[in-house]
């Protein structure tokens, strides 16, 4: 009885399954039904189902001949695309906080509240701010506009701000060598013979007393002449201990300066080409001037190096350069014209005393034609005057120094204030400002000249890479006399009066 009941239950269940399948098959028109118990597939027939085994066999045959995919129409899944994400428009703010002072090649166009005029057809980048802190910049400026916070966006609380501008074309990286060596070649056989210098201290009674500066707010100054020492592809600051690793340099001062020099070795030994002999064994060097027509390296007729205070603040609070100090000024690897930090000019000696130009034919940060018997070329590199008080050098040979900021210095909290010596809180020690001036005469006005470090397109003007290096080798007691008698007393000691009745003598005395 139990077996009969189970068989009936199984038969009913299987019949229901078969009817479900047959119904689906009819709907798909893949199989036809001849009776409730007979299924006719695509080909062949099956007998009437009388047993469970027979039913299963028939159903399996049906499943083999008519697959579910063929019998059941399943609608494709609905694909919902992800929402389209529309990025916000890229808006380049026309005004950006910069904090960096404009480059030396930028021109001042107005003080705060005045009208700044950009020459016709020039699109300029403009700096608005104070001294060496808290600047903002704005690109795309043209024509006339008011130099103020409303126009340029600098709301920093300071009463005295200025506008500087530079042609945006000069910001393009036209000086990038892109991995190439584009430095000028030169004829090594034409390198001038080195100078032997002086090996004694040359000091005597002063022939002319120093003069007090006319402006009571001005600082003091001292200048010293130095003859050419030698040329060599060495740089003891950038490539210490590696002779021949640098571009060709022109050296002044200590004739022993080479790739192995340190401040201690310079001070301890070596003749000097400067006035005063071994009173000043400092090392000075700049890239060599090359005549591209002849390939000849050109030596200067002289150099005059100024040691100056910038104003009364640093003059009265100045210290001597620390023993061991070394530094670099200028930019040996500019990528754009605006990056060039050197200064040079051509002067006609016949008109040096005639206003308004005093014989200056041209001036700027690159070389132009300057030659003949009457014209002189001067290359000038100025060094920062504020020391951080800790480091005698830095990885870039510049960061341990900063520029004089007068009464617009940044204190430890970032406020613009007047500091006691005109130096920022980050570099609180004022030392004399060093400026190297190298003079060249009898140049060929029709020849092209480049500097040995000019690693950029040779079709462009030379000179953009002008820079200078300085290693302190002064007799400390003599330098302190210069500080006390010339700088702190606001005296123009000329070259090279010590301000106390004595002077250094030798090469190039005023």
Note the pLDDT tens digit of each residue in 413-426. 777 778 888 898 89
Q: Which two tokens stand for residue 134?
A: 């808290």
Range of the domain at 250: 188-504
Question: Does 509 fall in a domain?
Answer: no
CB 440 within 8 A of CB 245: no
Q: How does strand 107-111 pair with strand 162-167? A: antiparallel
Give dist(CA 234, CA 167) in Å, integer: 36
Domain limit, last residue, from 71, 105, 127: 71
Count, residues in the chain? 510
Mean pLDDT of 425-432: 93
- Kindly report the three-state secondary structure assignment for every residue of 256-324: CCCCCCCHHHHHHCCCECECCECCECCEEEEECEEECCCCEEECCCEEEEEEECCCHHHHHCECCCCCC
Q: Render pLDDT for 34-67 as a digit per residue (tens, 0 to 9).
A: 333 344 444 444 444 344 454 455 545 544 544 4
Q: What is the pLDDT of residue 301?
A: 96
The closest alpha carbon to 164, from 154, 176, 172, belongs to 154
Same domain, 162 and 194: no
DSSP result, 67-86? -HHHH--PPPP---PPPP--
398 sits in the region (left: phi over 0; alpha: psi -120 to 50; else beta) called alpha
Cis status, amide bond into 356, omega within 30 of 0:
yes
Q: Which of 49-53, 75-79, 169-173 has the lowest mean pLDDT?
A: 49-53
Same domain, 209 and 156: no
Angle at 35 between CA 30 and CA 38, to 5 degrees: 70
Same domain, 303 and 382: yes
Report the domain count for the chain: 3
Q: What is the pLDDT of residue 44?
A: 43
The closest alpha carbon to 257, from 279, 222, 228, belongs to 228
Q: Render pLDDT for 293-316 as a digit per residue (tens, 0 to 9).
A: 999 999 999 999 999 988 777 778
Question: Does 176 fall in a domain?
Answer: no
SS3 392: coil
Q: What is the pLDDT of residue 507?
A: 82
CB 314 within 8 A of CB 308: no
222: which strand partners?
A: 307
Same domain, 274 and 420: yes
Q: Which residue has the higher pLDDT, 91 or 364?
A: 364
Same domain, 350 and 411: yes
Output the pTM of the full model.
Answer: 0.76
DSSP E strands: which ranges in 147-227?
162-167, 203-205, 211-212, 221-226
Domain limit, last residue, from 146, 171, 196: 171
Q: Which helix (H) or strand (E) holds 2?
A: helix 2-28
Q: What is the pLDDT of residue 289?
A: 99
Q: Render pLDDT for 450-502 as a digit per residue (tens, 0 to 9).
A: 999 999 999 999 999 999 999 999 999 999 999 999 999 889 998 889 999 99
Question: Does 82 fall in a domain?
Answer: no
SS3 187: coil
Cβ-in-10-Å burial (0-12, 13-18, 19+) of 75 comes to exposed
Same domain, 260 and 332: yes
pLDDT at 168 over 90: yes
Same domain, 32 and 119: no
Q: What is the pLDDT of residue 159?
A: 57
Helix-helix angle 2-28:52-65, to 10 degrees: 20
Same domain, 64 and 99: no
How many alpha carbons fall within 13 Å on the CB side of residue 447? Answer: 17
Pick the most confident of 51-55, 210-214, 252-256, 351-355.
252-256
Residue with tokens 């005004």: 95
Question: Does 89 fall in a domain?
Answer: no
Indicate if the alpha-carbon torsion angle 17, 21, 26, 27 is positive or negative: positive
Same domain, 9 and 124: no
Give dist(CA 261, CA 284) in Å, integer: 12
Q: Which of 55-59, 240-244, 268-272, 412-416 has the lowest mean pLDDT?
A: 55-59
Same domain, 207 and 351: yes
Give dist(CA 460, CA 463) in Å, integer: 10
Question: Does 182 fall in a domain?
Answer: no
Q: Which two tokens stand for residue 346?
A: 């051509």
Give dist(CA 494, CA 510) in Å, integer: 7
Question: Does 178 fall in a domain?
Answer: no
Q: What residues contact residue 13 under an 8 Å CB cut-off, 6+ apart?
A: none
Q: Render pLDDT for 81-113 as a digit per residue (tens, 0 to 9).
A: 666 656 555 444 344 444 577 887 889 999 889
Question: Does 442 fall in a domain?
Answer: yes
CB atoms within 10 A of CB 241: 11
303: which strand partners?
A: 226, 438
The closest alpha carbon to 472, from 362, 321, 311, belongs to 321
Same domain, 387 and 485: yes
CA 366 to chain CA mean position, Å: 18
Q: What is the pLDDT of residue 88?
A: 58
Pick the most confident of 141-150, 237-246, 482-491.
237-246
SS3 465: coil
Q: What is the pLDDT of residue 132?
A: 57
Same domain, 110 and 233: no
Give dist(CA 229, CA 271) in Å, integer: 10
Question: Does 38 fall in a domain?
Answer: yes
Give dist(CA 192, CA 421) in Å, integer: 43
> What 8-state DSSP symbol labels residue 94?
S
């Amino acid at each position: 009885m139990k077996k009969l009941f189970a068989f009936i239950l199984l038969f009913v269940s299987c019949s229901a399954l078969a009817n479900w399948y047959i119904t689906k098959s009819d709907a798909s028109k893949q199989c036809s039904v001849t009776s409730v118990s007979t299924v006719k597939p695509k080909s062949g027939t099956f007998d009437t189902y009388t047993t469970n085994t027979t039913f299963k066999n028939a159903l399996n045959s049906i499943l083999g001949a008519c697959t579910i995919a063929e019998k059941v129409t399943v609608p494709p899944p609905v694909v919902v695309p992800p929402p389209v994400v529309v990025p916000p428009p890229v808006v380049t703010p026309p005004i950006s906080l910069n904090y960096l002072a404009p480059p030396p090649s930028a021109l001042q166009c107005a003080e705060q509240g005045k009208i700044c005029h950009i020459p016709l057809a020039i699109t300029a980048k403009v700096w608005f701010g104070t001294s060496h802190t808290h600047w903002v910049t704005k690109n795309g400026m043209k024509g006339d506009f008011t130099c103020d916070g409303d126009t340029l966006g600098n709301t920093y609380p300071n009463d005295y701000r200025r506008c500087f501008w530079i042609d945006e074309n000069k910001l393009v990286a036209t000086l990038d060598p892109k991995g190439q060596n584009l430095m000028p070649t030169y004829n090594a056989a034409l390198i001038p013979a080195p100078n032997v210098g002086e090996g004694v201290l040359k000091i005597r009674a002063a022939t002319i007393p120093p003069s007090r500066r006319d402006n009571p707010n001005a600082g003091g100054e001292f200048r010293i002449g130095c003859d050419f020492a030698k040329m060599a592809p060495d740089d003891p600051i950038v490539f210490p201990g590696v002779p021949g690793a640098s571009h060709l340099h022109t050296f002044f001062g200590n004739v022993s300066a080479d790739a192995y020099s340190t401040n201690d070795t310079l001070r301890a030994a070596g003749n000097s080409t400067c006035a005063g002999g071994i009173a000043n064994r400092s090392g000075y060097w700049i890239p060599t001037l090359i005549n591209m027509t002849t390939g000849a390296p050109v030596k200067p007729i002289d150099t005059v190096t100024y040691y100056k205070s910038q104003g009364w603040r640093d003059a009265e609070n100045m210290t001597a350069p620390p023993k061991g100090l070394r530094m670099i000024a200028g930019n040996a690897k500019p990528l754009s014209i605006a990056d060039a930090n050197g200064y040079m000019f051509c002067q006609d000696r016949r008109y040096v005393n005639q206003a308004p130009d005093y014989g200056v034919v041209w001036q700027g940060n690159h070389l132009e034609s300057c030659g003949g018997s009457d014209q002189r070329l001067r290359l000038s590199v100025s060094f920062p005057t504020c020391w951080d008080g800790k480091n005698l050098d830095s990885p870039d040979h510049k960061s341990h120094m900063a520029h004089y900021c007068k009464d617009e210095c940044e204190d430890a909290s970032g406020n613009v204030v007047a500091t006691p010596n005109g130096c920022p809180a980050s570099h609180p020690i004022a030392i004399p400002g060093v400026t190297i001036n190298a003079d060249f005469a009898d140049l060929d006005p029709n020849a092209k000249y480049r500097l040995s470090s000019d690693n950029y397109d040779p079709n462009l003007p030379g000179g953009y890479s002008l820079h200078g290096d300085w290693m302190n080798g002064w007799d400390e007691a003599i330098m302190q006399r210069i500080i006390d008698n010339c700088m702190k007393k606001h005296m123009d000691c000329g070259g090279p009066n010590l301000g106390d009745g004595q002077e250094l003598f030798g090469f190039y005395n005023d």
